[in-house]
Structure 1
């Protein structure tokens, strides 16, 4: 893979997306920033170019808009060059009991977290397969393995991401393309400002929240050393594995913890 890698990051305007962009630039690679907020992208682009003396690019993108996805990725390849790494980071959650969930929120989460992620992946695959190199990193969640109360829809989207990624990995293996799933637990970002407007869930799990900069570092590290899965933190992954073996027991013992929302 080229030493001057072109790294596309969706959902790059804040949180771990922005942190990953900074780390990519620190390595001398070319970050391509995508998100809906033009103002935030422009601020980050200027920051990166000033701090790291690296050219950064920005593209307004709503991954729910499939025509826009196709157009933007075509522009990247024409204006910058072949994409070496795609980090599908765009996503969000809204926590509700399913009975109270609004179907427009259900559709929105699936359109962003699943369909949008697939559309971005499909946009880069032909060129990666032709070059017989590339790396796709899909940000899923520990919710893909261990569901909780009021997380039914969000967990369903992340289960879908995990299933899709596992299948894709087998499909592109012979083309020299790496595929990584990242399954983090709760991260200290603005995610919960949307997911749980009451603030109660974030308050309840405050001591367990992951540092976004540490998560970003571990993800960017997989670009040089690709792995099948990155699971954070380790103790939560152990709980997920136990859940696969004895779901009823884990649900019984963890009832209080699973109801923190």
Structure 2
């Protein structure tokens, strides 16, 4: 039976990945800060699907957190067949007005620990000639976003890094996928400190985490490098930067987001 390791597994897309993979008879390693939520989820999925679940309670914004997770997995002689780097968060507002420590923690979680876990588990997958990595990026990764400058930059890193790894590993039996959701039902907007006007995705319908996970797993089966979820509107949106001058585009986005800030 194969095993999936999921970061940010206590809620949202991470929790949905856990539920869906458990239903597909995969063992799970669940990682998040919330011990109660993780243990409750692990108990439920173990009982319902007769799988094995391991819980690692860890704040991944701490430096070296990826190594701690890897060492725990190694100590239990577990093999990770599917790594899902899902944990991440955003922050809304002008960069100079936001807390620098929060921006640094965002870089640690959205980039550094993702890079660390990938670097630790990928060589084992290459040696076996099998495995998969799903990195959660965002449609925000396709262009700069004023008032979400650090978040968009971290997701651009995830997108570019993942696509490069897809090319490097596609002939080695290891598949890497960048998943780029649009607005999704989760606690993202609340944690990012968005104003009330963004409570429902700025008036746009939000995808469910179930839709994102379903599309992601189908994209893995098709060996895609990148998946933009949320329908044709998001697919068109991410291609706008290819045809519009960058100064014009960023200025337009700045006006849209600044109006929502009021």
For the criterion TM > 0.5, the same-fold answer is yes
In structure 2, the CA distance between the partners of 1:194 and 1:207, relative to structure 1 (3 Å rule), is same
Q: Provide, for residues 203-238 of structure 1, a one-character-per-residue CA deviation record: whole Å limited to 9, x for no partner.
A: 462432111121122223334333111101231121
For residues 89 and 187 of structure 1, the distance between their equivalents in structure 2, rounded to whole angstroms, comes to: 13
114-123 or 212-221: bigger deviation: 212-221
Is the 1:61–1:69 Cα contact (8 Å) retained in structure 2? Answer: no
The alpha carbon displacement at 1:34 in A equals 0.7
Matches within 5 A, 1:196-207: 196-203=193-200, 205-207=202-204
161-170 or 61-70: bigger deviation: 61-70
Which runs of no fewer than 5 residues in structure 2 stay unpaired?
A: none
Matches within 5 A, 1:69-218: 69-79=66-76, 81-203=78-200, 205-218=202-215
32-41 or 238-247: bigger deviation: 238-247
SS of residue paired to 2:199: helix
For residues 59 and 252 of structure 1, the distance between their equivalents in structure 2, rounded to whole angstroms, comes to: 43
For residues 72 and 209 of structure 1, the distance between their equivalents in structure 2, rounded to whole angstroms, comes to: 32
For residues 238 and 70 of structure 1, the distance between their equivalents in structure 2, rounded to whole angstroms, comes to: 38
The alpha carbon displacement at 1:80 in A equals 5.0
SS of residue paired to 1:34: strand
Match 1:12 to one of 5, 9, 14: 9
For residues 103 and 47 of structure 2, the distance between their equivalents in structure 1, rounded to whole angstroms, comes to: 40
Aligned twin of 2:38 = 41
Q: Provide, for residues 79-134 of structure 1, a one-character-per-residue CA deviation record: whole Å limited to 9, x for no partner.
A: 25321110100100111112312211221110110011101111201211211211
SS of residue paired to 2:186: coil
SS of residue paired to 1:90: coil
Aligned twin of 1:246 = 244
Is the 1:192–1:202 Cα contact (8 Å) retained in structure 2? Answer: yes
Normalized against structure 1, the TM-score is what? 0.90
98-107 or 63-72: bigger deviation: 63-72
RMSD between aligned residues: 2.1
In structure 2, the CA distance between the partners of 1:53 and 1:204, relative to structure 1 (3 Å rule), is closer
For residues 191 and 31 of structure 2, the distance between their equivalents in structure 1, rounded to whole angstroms, comes to: 20
31-40 or 240-249: bigger deviation: 240-249
For residues 252 and 140 of structure 2, the distance between their equivalents in structure 1, rounded to whole angstroms, comes to: 18
78-87 or 14-23: bigger deviation: 78-87
SS of residue paired to 1:175: coil
